[in-house]
Amino acid sequence: MLNISNLREQKKEIVELLKIKNFNALDLIDSVIEKDNSRKLNQQKSDDILSKLNQIAKEIGVFYKQGNIDKANSLKQSSVELKEESKKLSAIQKEIQEEIREILLLIPNIPHKSVPKGNSENDNEIIEEVGEMPKLQDNSKPHWELTELYDLIDFNLGNKITGAGFPVFKGKGAKLQRALISFFLDQNINAGYEEYLPPSVVNAESMFGTGALPDKEDQMYHVTEDDLYLIPTAEVPVTNFFRDAIVKDFPIKCTAYTPCFRREAGSYGKDVRGLNRLHQFDKVEIVQIEHPDNSYSTLDKMVKHVASILNQLELPYRILRLCGGDLSFTSSLTYDFEVYSAGQKRWLEVSSVSNFESFQANRLKLRFKNNEGKSQLCHTLNGSALALPRIFAALIENNQTSDGIKIPKVLQAYTGFDII
């Protein structure tokens, strides 16, 4: 959520930057400023009444001491009338503040100046491409055939017990999945992140804090009886650890493995086969709370960290800077990682690394004291390190041979085997 003070001071610049996200914010910003002017005027009236009430209270005491009961009682009646007016102004103030809040919730985060213009993923900027494309034999298969051939995942069983998009990993497939999770966590811990194991359900306030509400209601599973939500990513619970907090030391670095849940409403077609798009999937997340002066250098370090993990897995990948039309509602700048899937002959997204600047922190009331002792909003960042399904898919597709599926050396200590 954006600050009204910034909207006032940088209105023209913010309007132009939000156009990169294909969002025309002019009318909304004007409305917010107009309502904030009303709020200030209303607050001034309330302050004036409070001052009058304080003065009347003193005068009543003086008249009582002087024995002037009639004058004291007359002032008491004036005080009652002023208090009633004060209550009305207080109710109006709450109404205006709620109207301001509702408008602010409609305005997306401001994109960073480096975000390229564009309307879709085709306009994303390729920053770097790393690794050689695997050369597979002519009868190579996509992962949904490999998992059946080697008995690694049972999609039909998942469909039977739950529904489509809930696969059952088994045997060496389950072992490989667990190995990847442990490997990712160890890499993050070695990079200075502290491990957490948070709940997989959160309350509505947590969803609001990171921006999932009210933006993505239709994409989440909602336990209506208890008003709880199944998490779409560990970003939600972990970032909310610091809701209403005053940070004393930077950076705060967290990592967590969780199952993740997304309804993926309206997702159909060949691009969602197998592991490509699931309703439940595993992911290891990294989250940082940073000082505003350091958040973009931290973003660069997070990108390099994710790249280092993919390098060890020996998967070809590319890094993209997302264009405005593909940037999320909450993000200022996002880098996507895509690995090449040799069995499907296409790129698969496996990580997004984002800087939200103070957008989430404003909702979370996540602050620190600056050198002058004044409260200032922190910056929040997060990234996938990494999402499991498409890593698993690319890993078995790219390493298939006539003898079986070879396991990258870095994972063999975790799996206990070097080939499937």
- Give the residue-averaged pLDDT of 144-159: 97
**Residue found under tokens 């959160």:** 202
**C-beta of residue 265 within 8 angstroms of C-beta of residue 279:** no
Give the chain's end-to-end CA distance (angstroms, integer).
49
DSSP string over 2-46: --HHHHHHTHHHHHHHHHHTT---HHHHHHHHHHHHHHHHHHHHH
Of the pLDDT bands very low, low, confident and very high (cuts 50, 70, 90), residue 47 is very high
CATH tag, 4-104: 1.10.287
Q: How far is CA 232 from the centre of its chain?
A: 9
**Residue found under tokens 């004007």:** 30
Q: Is the pLDDT assigned to residue 218 strictly greater than 90?
A: no
Dist. CA 100–CA 254, nearest whole Å: 33
Of the pLDDT bands very low, low, confident and very high (cuts 50, 70, 90), residue 175 is very high
Joined together, the tokens standing for residue 410 give: 């870095």
> What is the tens place of the pLDDT at every residue in 356-393?
999 999 999 999 999 999 999 999 999 999 999 999 99
CB half-sphere exposure, 126, CA atoms < 13 A: 10
Other residues' Cβ atoms within 10 Å of the Cβ of residue 401: 11
Q: Residue 331: what pLDDT?
A: 98
Joined together, the tokens standing for residue 271 give: 């691009």
Q: Is the pLDDT assigned to residue 329 strictly greater than 60?
A: yes
Lowest mean pLDDT among 57-61, 186-190, 303-307: 57-61
Q: Is the pLDDT assigned to residue 268 strictly greater than 80?
A: no
Q: Is the pLDDT assigned to residue 2 strictly greater than 60?
A: yes
Dist. CA 272–CA 270, nearest whole Å: 5
- Give the residue-averaged pLDDT of 218-226: 94
Other residues' Cβ atoms within 10 Å of the Cβ of residue 45: 15
Of 235, 337, 356, 233, nearest to 298 by C-alpha is: 356
Other residues' Cβ atoms within 10 Å of the Cβ of residue 370: 11
Q: Residue 378: what pLDDT?
A: 98
Dist. CA 5–CA 26, nearest whole Å: 15
CATH of 121-415, picked from 3.90.950.20, 3.30.930.10, 2.40.50.100, 3.30.70.980, is 3.30.930.10
Of the pLDDT bands very low, low, confident and very high (cuts 50, 70, 90), residue 90 is very high
Q: Is the pLDDT assigned to residue 269 strictly greater than 60?
A: no
Structural domain boundaries of the chain? Answer: 4-104, 121-415
